[in-house]
Amino acid sequence: MYVKLGNRGGKSVSKDRVSRRQFLNYTLLGVGGFMAAGMVMPMARFAIDPVLKANASGDFVATKVKVADITEEPQRVDFKFDQVDAWYESEETGTAWVYKNENGEIVALSPVCKHLGCTVDWNADEKNQNMFFCPCHYGLYEKDGTNVPGTPPLAPLDVYPYQEKDGILYLGKAQPREGA
Ligand code: FES
């Protein structure tokens, strides 16, 4: 209900009526807020998103290997996992050397050489049987992944944490160990 305050140019004016100035202010405020939200939300998401994804990267991923089929001889196991880099998500292939030790425990080693990152191979050097061998600079590792002193690598191979689900081997993110 309007309260008439008088006539201005033949038109009635009321104190409850929204003036043009107020209407313009409200409109600019609304549009400005909308634009600010449009700029701030992507920045906030950019800041928070990698943190959220970091939790997901800690998940275990399934391999195609049955735990019952793992022997004492290291076997190369390739597996797929999702790599998240900020907003970019891609499917990558990981590799592990997997075997059971003398106690029947599963050992899953990273194949990435701790010297300069070449790929180590099992039992590939005739002069050093039953060892992991890196052909790039003749790096050597014991079967448990311990680096052999006197060869270039200065740390043991990283180890994958593992889980068994429905008889299948799952691997987590490879973890570094103390140097020999
Ligand atoms: S990268 Fe493996 S020994 Fe150098």
Q: What does the domain layout of the chain look like in residue ranges?
A: 4-56, 59-171
Cα–Cα separations (whole angstroms), residue 55 to 26, 48, 146: 42, 12, 29
* Higher-pLDDT residue of 143, 48: 143
Q: What is the pLDDT of residues 74-101, one digit of tens each?
A: 999 999 988 888 888 899 999 999 999 9
Number of Cβ atoms within 10 Å of the Cβ of 63 = 21
| Residue 82, token pair as written in the block | 């999702």
47 — pLDDT class (breaks 50, 70, 90): low
Rounded to the nearest whole angstrom, what is the distance from the C-alpha of residue 101 to the centroid of ligand 1? 25
* Higher-pLDDT residue of 112, 11: 112
Using a 6 Å CB cutoff, which residues line ligand 1?
113, 115-118, 134, 136-137, 139, 152-153
Q: What is the pLDDT of residues 97-128, one digit of tens each?
A: 999 999 999 999 999 999 999 999 999 999 99
Rounded to the nearest whole angstrom, what is the distance from the C-alpha of residue 123 to the centroid of ligand 1? 16
Whole-angstrom Cα Rg for the chain: 32
| Residue 117, token pair as written in the block | 């990152």
| Probe target for ligand 1 pocket from 112, 115, 132, 158, with the most ligand atoms within 8 Å of CB | 115
59-171: CATH superfamily: Rieske [2Fe-2S] iron-sulphur domain (2.102.10.10)
The residue whose CA is least distant from atom 1 of ligand 1 is 116
pTM, two decimals, is 0.68
* Higher-pLDDT residue of 179, 17: 17
Residue closest to 63 by CA, chosen among 166, 173, 170: 170
Residue 48 has pLDDT above 80, yes or no: no
| Probe target for ligand 1 pocket from 131, 133, 137, with the most ligand atoms within 8 Å of CB | 137
Return the SS3 of 158.
Answer: coil
